[in-house]
Structure 1
Amino acid sequence: MLKINEIFETIQGEGVFTGVPSIFVRLQGCPVGCPWCDTQHTWEVEDENNIPVRDMMAKSTDTAMWSAMSVSDIFSTLEDCGYTAKHVVITGGEPCMYDLNELTTALNQDGYSTQIETSGTFPIQCSMATWVTVSPKINMPGGLEILASAMQRANEIKHPIAMQKHIDELEQLLAEKPAQPDTQIALQPISQKPRATELAIKTCIDRNWRLSLQTHKYLGIE
């Protein structure tokens, strides 16, 4: 059973798949503790917050309430909602706290492309066809180490930055735990702050990396 905080359909706003219609499956639970996290309601997993699926799907605000769902429950929910997007983004929280092999394999077999957004601090268990976006959370309060295996599995490394220190940390991480040669690297300014955006643009040009903007925040969508 997977602990699901929310399921919704929208446009992917970040990274390589920016602009792609997507179904987001957000899992509950995360021990990383990023200070700027905009989904802190997904951090804690309390049994008293386990609610029926229909109530979870009816939530109108961000809360720590979640539902325990099987893969078949998730498929039934997608069908009941009539979603038309064929790209599924599994996020959190920290989705790789869970074994996602069954879910991603079933989605791929049913014609969906799949993507996982992870901090890189847990082993990545998913289908080979799944696009893995590692957003490495370096020196966070949770004290968790970025796994070399996660960096090797990453199709995309999307790193949030606010200052030069964050770029230096990424370069050190890539030197110590290299990614695959074809892994795409993107910098994402934290909270779209002007100085962070300017630094990200300059660095992307200098390193031939990509710029990732949180376009869903500009558009005012989820």
Structure 2
Amino acid sequence: MRYPVNEIFETLQGEGVYTGVPAVFLRLQGCPVGCSWCDTRHTWQCLEQDRVPMQQIIGISGDKAQWCELSVEELVAHLTDGRFHARHLVITGGEPCLYDLAPLTEAMEQQGWQCQIETSGCFEVKTSDSCWVTVSPKEGMKGGYELCASALKRANEIKYPVATEQHIANLKALLAALPPEHSPVVALQPISQKPRATALCIEQCIKNNWRLSAQMHKYLAID
């Protein structure tokens, strides 16, 4: 299995359940979902003209469309060669679930790492049994994809982007459709940190006993 890698860098997880945890982010290239507020639009297309050598990817963070193709073995070697302190791997994108992530997550867990996937929920999640899956449901986006039922059932955490009351209603409908035995952590994330959206999220978190995901890294201006 080989993956188109956009960047690999170490920072703090700024969102969801693992907020504040040191993490290595592995960002994969390619996403057809088309979210209007996406802050990583440079990862949408995987063009041959943007392919670069591996040295321009490892340990480098930046909003560029460049990518290199790495195997599971190459990724494990670079992630575990001592350059990183964190032992929490966040696989994001783009849309990481365009790819089979089971070989990579299983290999990293064998090295003693914890893995997390951040996905739109529009594609089947292929990963290890122990991987923490964060689904940030993207409905009605430009790409026209519907949510994947199996992805929602696999979610350990549903991190829902919110700007209006309608988003809250959509979330409640989504949660009501889940199997009764499945109760993922629910976190509300204000879209673009707008004050009205943030106030709405706080209000609804208190009412429903949900969590707030305030994108700490953006408030602190860290990568």
TM-score tier by shorter-chain length is over 0.9
Letter in 1 for 2:184: T
Equivalent in the alignment of 2:156: 155
- Does structure 1 residue 205 correspond to structure 2 residue 206? yes
SS at match of 1:57: coil
- Between the aligned partners of 1:42 and 1:178, the Cα distance in structure 2 is 33
Quote the Cα distance in structure 2 between the aligned partners of 1:160 and 1:112: 28
What residue number does 1:114 align with? 115
The answer for the alignment partner of 1:143 in structure 2 is 144
Residue matched to 1:105:
106
Contact 1:26 1:91 in 2 (8 A): yes
Quick check: 1:126 aligned with 2:123?
no
Deviation by residue 1:71-109 (Cα, 9 ceiling, x = unmatched):
111122224561010000000000000000100000001
Q: Does 1:221 align with 2:222?
A: yes
Matches for 1:21-60 after TM superposition, within 5 Å: 21-57=22-58
* 2:10 matched residue in structure 1: 9
Deviation string 1:162-207 (CA, Å, 9 cap, x unpaired) is 1111111111222234575331001000111110000000111111
Query: What secondary structure does 2:57 align onto?
Result: helix
Within 1, Cα distance between the matches of 2:166 and 2:85?
41
CA distance in 2, matches of 1:68, 1:21: 25
CA distance in 2, matches of 1:82, 1:211: 32
Distance 2:218 2:180 in 1: 29
**Shift in Å, 1:34:** 0.3
CA–CA distance in structure 1, aligned partners of residues 50 and 59 of structure 2: 15
Taking only aligned residues, the RMSD between alpha carbons, in angstroms, comes to 1.4
Contact 1:187–1:210 under 8 Å retained in 2: yes
Structure 1 gaps of 5+ residues are none
Q: What amino acid sits opposite 1:169 in the alignment?
A: N
Alpha-carbon distance, 1:48 to partner: 1.5
Question: Are the aligned partners of 2:10 and 2:59 in contact in 1 as well (CA < 8 Å)?
Answer: no
1:195 is aligned to 196
> What is the TM-score with the length of structure 1 in the denominator?
0.96
Alignment gaps of 5+ in structure 2 = none
One-letter code aligned to 2:74: D
Q: How many residues align?
A: 222
Q: Counterparts of 1:179 and 1:194 in 2: how far apart (Å)?
A: 34
